[in-house]
Chain A
Amino acid sequence: EVQLVESGGGLVQPGGSLRLSCAASGFTFSRFGMSWVRLAPGKGLEWVSSVSGVTTYYADSVKGRFTISRDNSRNTMYLQMNSLRAEDTAVYYCAKAPPAHDSLMDVWGQGTTVTVSS
């Protein structure tokens, strides 16, 4: 069974850092694009970042503060989040892309909650 499990969320003060992890199983992780998407309280889905091969992409709202990476040997994707702001408070989902469609998201994790507050 294809499965994604996020971890690393929590409460952090403004200006702080967190690193989210997404552990993948049930598929050949290295072959697929991966993404992070967030859902802030009372708001809609917001794409955060994607990695396709060695190419990375970021939303303007996180560019320069967040870094996406992956360790194919560990079947894990990461999101390093620095200089966190209150508006980064959200549930963060990792998602896998289907074959040949790196910008789509066909399998999602259950999410990890990030709260940025003093």
Chain B
Amino acid sequence: DIQLTQSPSFLSGSEGDRVTITCRASEGISSYLAWYQRKPGKAPKLLIYAASTLQSGVPSRFSGSGSGTEFTLTISSLQPEDFATYYCQQVKTHPLTFGGGTKVEIK
């Protein structure tokens, strides 16, 4: 199975900060990576797929990059509504796997 390791697991930021979350795969997955956002009590939301393609309706302050084994999710200017937990997911092969999550909290 392909393991995904996210770092950091916890991130404290202020409004306007630029933040970056990393996701490392245990083997190469080309660009078969997605990012999701989950807020407490709400369903997860797809942000980015194919490593860098922004899902329709997602603000442009979110961006993704990477290929192979290392990927990043960047929020260029943290907004109050961005405080949530973020997960990466590999979609190259079954079993599908998620990273452990990165919780972004207000400093």
A→B interface (CB under 8 Å):
35, 37, 39, 44-47, 50, 57-60, 93, 95, 98, 101, 103-106, 108-111
Contact A109 B87, beta carbon cutoff 8 Å: no
Q: Does B94 contact A (CB under 8 A)?
A: yes
Nearest 4 CB-CB pairs, A to B? A108-B43, A103-B91, A47-B96, A44-B101
A57 CA to B95 CA, complexed, in Å: 7
13 A-B residue pairs with Cβ-Cβ distance under 8 Å, sorted by A, are A44-B98, A44-B100, A47-B95, A47-B98, A59-B95, A60-B95, A93-B43, A95-B44, A104-B46, A104-B49, A104-B89, A106-B46, A110-B43
Instruction: Tell me the number of A-to-B contacts counted with CB atoms below 8 Å.
Output: 57
| Cβ–Cβ < 8 Å partners of B67 in chain A | none
Closest-CB distance, A68 to chain B (whole angstroms): 13
Closest-CB distance, B33 to chain A (whole angstroms): 10
Query: CB within 8 Å of A: which of B1-59?
Result: 1, 34, 36, 38, 42-46, 49, 55
Q: Does B64 contact A (CB under 8 A)?
A: no
| Cβ–Cβ < 8 Å partners of B45 in chain A | 108
